Every structure is written in C-alpha cells, then in structure tokens.
Structure 1
Amino acid sequence: MPRTPNTRLRRLMETASWSPAQLAAAVNAVAVEHGQQMAYGRSTVSRWLSGTTPRPPAPAFLLEALARRLGRPVTAYDAGLTSIPARTAVSDLSWQADPLRKLAVLTSADTGPTRRHHLATGVFTLTALAVPEAADLARPTTATRHAPPSSTSRVGRTEVEHMQTMSRLFAQAAEDHGAGHVQPVLNYYLNHSVTGWLHAPATGVIQRQLLIHASQSMTLLGLMSADCGADALAQHCYRTAAHLAAEADDMTAFAIALRALSAHAHELGHHTPAVHHLAERAADATRRAPLAVRAYTHTHLAVTRAHHDRHAALRTLTTAERLNDTTHNTPGPFTTYSTGALHYQRAQTLTTLGDHKEATHALTASLRHRTTDERRAATLTRARLAETLLVQGHLDAAMVHWQAFLDTYPLLHSARATRSLDAMRQLLRPHSRHHTAAHLLAQATGIHP
C-alpha cells in the first residue's frame, strides 16, 4: 500500500528552517545525550517524510529535537507520527493540572506499565525549563478537593513533623548509599501517606505546611530520580515541587525546586540561556529566604554565569561565600548548606572559567570539609578532583583520588557515580601502560555498575 506523506512533519521542518540533513543531525545529538549512538541521515528523514513511522526510540529524540528548535513542546500528533490527537502519557503533568494530582501520578504504582515506563525512561527535555511565575501557579484549588474514603480523619502538627523527620532520613540514606535503593521507598511513602494527608481535612496553616513539605519531598524525589538516571522523571518531580510550593505561597521551596531543575540540566551538559535564566529566578526568589538557601541558589547561579560572564560569575560566587559565612545552619536537607558543597560549586565555576589550578584548591577544600555523613558527595568530589588534576598533567596525584573513588564506589547505587566511573575509564585508557593506571583500569573492569 502506498504511504501517506507526512505533511505535518514537513511543515514543522519548514517552520524550523531545517533541511533533512539538519534534522537528522539534531536527532542524533539528542540521542547521544541519552547514551545512544544513532546514524540517522538525510535519507532517513526522507523516509519519515514519505510516511514511514520511525521506530523507538527515534520518535522521542525527534520530538525533543524539534521542541528545542521551535522553543515549545511538540507532540507525536504534531509531528505526524500518529493520526489521533490522543491524550499523552504525561498530560496529567501540565501546569494546568492540580499539583496534588501530579504528585499522585508520579508516585503511584497503579499508573500502568506503559505510563510508568514512559516516566522512568522518557527523554529529558529543555522545554521543561519553562516555569510560570509562582503567582500564576497559585490557585484556590483546595476547596474542590475531597479526602479519600479511607482518609477522613483530621491531620495536624503530628503529620507535619512526621514529614520533616522522614525527609531527613531519606536524604541521609541516599547520601550514604546513593539513591538507587532509597528512591522507591520515598516514592511509596509519598503515595501512601503524604497524598492522603494532603487531601484530608486540616486547618489552613497545617495545609500550607503540608504543601511546603510535600514540595520539598518532591524535590528530594527528583534529586534521587536524577541520581538513578531517570532524568525525565526528575524533571517532572522538580516541576511538581515548584507547583506545590507556589500553591503554598512559599518562595523558599519554590526557589529550591527551580534551582534543582536548573542544576540538573547543567549537570547533563546544557549551558543554554534558559538554564541560566532559571538559576537567576531561583536566586531572585530567595530574597527573604534563610541565608543557607540564598547561598545554595547563588552558588549555582555563579556556575551558570561562568558560561556567559566571567566577572558576574566571580561576583556572584563572592556573594554566595559571604552568605554562607554568616549562616547558622539548622540540621535538615532543606535548611542547611554544607561548606563542602559550596567549595564544590566554587570549583565548577572556576573550571568553566579555565582556572584549573584554583579549581583543584576548591575541590581539595571541598573534600576536607566533607563529613562522614556525606559519603556520596565525597566520592563524587574525589572523581572530579582526579579529573581536574589529570587536566593539569598530574597523573600520579589523580590516580590517588581515583583509587579512593574505586574503594567507595561499590557502596553506592548511583547513576552519577557510574558516569564518573565511565569517565575514569575513558581518561585513563591512554595511560594504560602506566603500572598504576593499568591496575585501576583492571579494578574498574571488575566493577559491575
């Protein structure tokens, strides 16, 4: 049977001013970001235009490439990949949806295997960095919510304190062992306890506190999802955290969610103006926040500014350090900012600015300030310090830190640590004739991520 030409895809390409070869190159680039090597070319796109439906995972990469070029989300229907403008797997996660509904969708094991797979393995999208203003997200939706039949009892301060305690426990467990085994437990807790409390009768004060802690927990779930390599799911968690914070009218929690969303994109190698703008919004939203949160947002702002303005980056870094010096930390994942973390961000800023020597000093300081409760962070800092030393030609010094990294790596279940392991293998391969380097490579080969 003759195929029907894909006119919708052709129109999108015309709007994007892309030739078939340019579209193919953009799709290949998105695929590489997600760990896959594709060899699409002009002839491949010509077949798509003639009506051939690309096989997975090509559609996801195609839609993301078009969305980035056009600056807006592009659906499968928009691109002519389906004839039915069907409800998408993440349609319940739009900004128009109730944030409590979004929390339930993201954490429920009953969303169905197709949707759960999509949320866990979906494509990281830059269009997700477009976040409305908090005032535009805050809506009086609580009056229309009803408690589930099994959750009719009134909730109060006990549930709020329970959420605070559990956030500390989950955050510490992820720091000790990586997020791999902790994320599913937090997911279950949010779905089976927190969701019910958010729908139960409560005073206005308690309802607001529940929303704030739910926002923080969703940010924590996003951080854990990113550490598990579920980057699309992490984005949805951060966006939902921002929405919950906006409904609670809490700019501190809103800023933390924006900072996490921006930092996640930066960690994946995206240094676009959109990433920087989100970091700016996060810092601006902390004007009345505790000093620890202000330092937290400003260090990341310095990192993003380093890609655009050297002097602005250094000024922002100085501001962050001054804020941190005057901070009186309250224990907790959202009330404290460690000195080790600040020095790590300082090193990131200096590395981007090309000052590897000072970045080495910052990473050394970061490692020195890491406490025994920061095992995952210390391990990742070791890996980054080794990479920075190698850039400067200090192979022997680098291998000392890579050995320490390998000693701790098996204790972590972390996709980010696995990426550091892969980077170590790649960087040491040219030095494989060196006795110690060969030993490290052999040791790394025996490690199963």
Structure 2
Amino acid sequence: MDPSRRSVLGAGLFSAAAVVPGWPDVHDRLQRVQEDPHTRIGLPEVSAVISMTEHMSDLDDKFGGRMARPMAAAFLVNTIVPALRATAGEEVKNALRSAAADHLYLTGYMAMDEREDGLAQRYYTKALELAGSAGDHLTYCTTLRGMSVQAVDLGHGPLALRLADAAAAASPQAGPRMLAFLTGQQAHAAAQTGDRAGALQRLKAAETAMDKAESRAKAFGSYDPSAMNYHIGQVRYELGDIAGSIESMELADRLREPAYRRTRVRYNAMIAERKLAVGRLEEACVDWNGVLDDYPLVQSGRCDDRVRIMLSSLRPHLGNAHAREAYERGRALLRTA
C-alpha cells in the first residue's frame, strides 16, 4: 500500500466554511461497512491499535508529522480498515471504532503539521464519525478541539471559536483537566476574534480548572501547566500584550517535557519573533540559534514556516553580526530541509 498523502483520503484545501458537526449528527450514524466473515477480531487487536497509535504519537512529538504520518497512514489502511470490516461482538466493534477514531485524529494532526490542511480536515471528519459511532465523547471533543487548533493556527478566528465552543458543549461532565484543555482553546480562539472579555473570562476558567487538576493525582493526557501557560501567552499576544506573552511562553518552555521537540522548535521560534518585535534583537538571535539546534531533527511543515519567518524577520537586520550569523545558518538549514 502506498501511504502517500493522496492515497488514503485525498488532499484538498482547508475550508474556512466547514460545517461544525454536532454530536447528534455523528452518533450512531457511521455508514455500515461490508463485514468480512472470514476474519474475526477481539480485544487484543484493539489493544494493538491503541499501542501503535501511542508509539506513533511519540514519534510525531520528537520528529514531526512529515516523518511519522506515512507510517500512520499505512497502518490505517493495512491494519485498521481491515479490522473495522472484521467480524466481532458489539463491545469489540465499539472499542475498535474508538481506537480507530483516535488514530485518525492523530493522523490528521500529523497532516496539519505537514501543512496538508485540507487532508487534515478529512482525517478529522472521519475521526468524528467513528467517535460518534462508538459513543466516544472524549475523542469526539478532542478532535473538534484539534480542528479549532488548526483553524486558529491558520488565522480563522471565528471558525476556531465555533469549533472550540462545540467541543466544550459536547463534553459531558468534564473533569478539571479536560475542562482546562477545552476552555484554554476557547480562550485563544476568542482572543483571536478580538473578544477581550470573553477570552479573559475563559482563560480564568481554564486556570481555575488547571489548578484543581494539578492538586489531584496526575491524569493521563498532555494538557499540563506548560500547555496552560502556552495558552496564556497566546491570549496575551492576541490582545496586544507582547511582553506578557513572552513571559508566559518562556515559562511554558521551562515546564515542557524534553520529548516534545517539535513543540519546542515552534514555540521558541515564536518567542524569538516576539522579542524582535519589542526590540530585543540579540536575545531573539540567541533563541533562534537554539531553535536551529533542534530544527534539523524535526520534519515539520509548521517548523519550516517558522524558519521562513525567522529569515524574513532578520533580513532588515543583517548589519548586526548576531542577526547575520543566525540568518545564514537558518538559510542553509532551510535549503537542506
């Protein structure tokens, strides 16, 4: 099976007019696939899908979507799709649909990281269908939130807010960590639309929920104080507080686990961009050089974008030796990538 970007769902362009699907629209409405009577699966096969998805998520965090997604796409087509067609009891089928939805969500995130944004939307939509069919609110809400992250990253604030609100509305009895996970994204999207009061209100709710989550035993999931401070930094930036956003983003970096290399590249590049914006050129160059230490190890379209922004930002400052050094280094590495 050729796992190229056009072989699974097709590419296409990101649609800012995408319809926000509600839970009733996807719950129990997955089109029935033709069952293969010669193949039967059980919970061990479901566990294998979950384990592979977790492993590919680790690879994505360290090395970027462009490296990991072909493997995820091949596993989807060669293993998950045949399993979805296999004979199984209803409990196993629902567990598999849930695991498959999570894998599709991850694969969509990888496609977004490649800057294949239309393809990412298609993966996300299929993830919603499978999550709804399995009755899996968690993956459904997480996927809607992922779609909001994609939209806000592309500058589609109103769509990002609608998606974030839909994710929060569909989450029944969310615990404090999940509430912070959803509300932090609502705050970021609201800030991008210029809704200062709404953004700050949601940010306060996210911080309160995060405090409650951290006072308990650690729960599974990646939303942690580092992610919370990232959202604080993004809200501050969208509302015009660049210095405050730098402070929050630097705290997020200090709290971040070392394994998240791709995140470190992207977010530290943002810190450098913002330091340059407030006149801290040489500090920005130090940060950009740190970014360039990690950049060759990550295969990510979004990281490529940040290096391109670095080059365009430094071009007017090439009379400064620090800026010129970072510029020449970045240009050589981007050309290699």
1:146 aligns with 2:37: no
Contact preservation (8 Å) 2:3, 2:70: no
Please, which moves more after superposition, 374-383 or 403-412? 374-383
Q: Hey, what's the Cα distance between the residues in 2 that align with 1:297 and 1:261? A: 12
> For residue 77 of structure 2, what is the aligned residue in structure 1?
191
Q: Hey, what's the Cα distance between the residues in 2 that align with 1:165 and 1:145? A: 24
Residue identity (%): 28
> For residue 393 of structure 1, what is the aligned residue in structure 2?
279
Please list every run of 5 or more consecutive structure 2 residues that lacks an aligned counterpart in the other structure: none
**SS in structure 1 of the partner of residue 66 of structure 2:** coil
Q: Could you tell me which amino acid in structure 1 is paired with residue 272 of structure 2?
A: A
Please list every run of 5 or more consecutive structure 1 residues that lacks an aligned counterpart in the other structure: 1-107
Mark the CA change 1:289 to 1:205 in structure 2 (over 3 Å): closer, same or farther. Answer: farther
Q: How does 1:231-270 map to 2 (within 5 A)?
A: 231-270=117-156
- TM-score, normalization by structure 2: 0.92
Q: How does 1:29-428 map to 2 (within 5 A)?
A: 109=2, 116=7, 119-120=10-11, 122-128=12-18, 130-139=19-28, 144-148=32-36, 152-153=39-40, 155-271=41-157, 273-306=158-191, 307-327=193-213, 328-331=217-220, 335-428=221-314
Contact preservation (8 Å) 1:293, 1:336: no
Q: Hey, what's the Cα distance between the residues in 1 that align with 2:129 and 2:177? A: 22
Q: Hey, what's the Cα distance between the residues in 1 that align with 2:24 and 2:88? A: 23
Contact preservation (8 Å) 2:65, 2:110: yes
Give the C-alpha shift of residue 290 in structure 1: 4.0
Mark the CA change 1:376 to 1:438 in structure 2 (over 3 Å): closer, same or farther. Answer: same
- TM-score, normalization by structure 1: 0.70
Q: Could you tell me which amino acid in structure 2 is paired with residue 247 of structure 1?
A: S
Deviations 1:30-77 (CA, angstroms, capped at 9, x unpaired): xxxxxxxxxxxxxxxxxxxxxxxxxxxxxxxxxxxxxxxxxxxxxxxx
Q: Could you tell me which amino acid in structure 1 is paired with residue 25 of structure 2?
A: D
Deviations 1:303-325 (CA, angstroms, capped at 9, x unpaired): 11112321221121121122222
Give the C-alpha shift of residue 342 in structure 1: 1.9
Q: Could you tell me which amino acid in structure 2 is paired with residue 152 of structure 1?
A: T
Q: Could you tell me which amino acid in structure 2 is paired with residue 350 of structure 1?
A: R
Q: Hey, what's the Cα distance between the residues in 2 that align with 1:436 and 1:343? A: 29
- Whichever structure has more helix as a proportion of its residues is 2
Give the C-alpha shift of residue 170 in structure 1: 0.6
Q: Hey, what's the Cα distance between the residues in 2 that align with 1:369 and 1:444? A: 26
Give the C-alpha shift of residue 242 in structure 1: 1.1
Q: Hey, what's the Cα distance between the residues in 2 that align with 1:412 and 1:431? A: 27
**Greater relative CO, 1 or 2 (CA 8 Å, sep 6+):** 2
- Tell me the matched-pair count: 331
> For residue 34 of structure 1, what is the aligned residue in structure 2?
none
Contact preservation (8 Å) 1:344, 1:366: yes
Mark the CA change 1:248 to 1:117 in structure 2 (over 3 Å): closer, same or farther. Answer: closer
Q: Hey, what's the Cα distance between the residues in 2 that align with 1:199 and 1:118? A: 18
Task: Flag the structure with larger Rg.
Answer: 1
Give the C-alpha shift of residue 280 in structure 1: 0.7
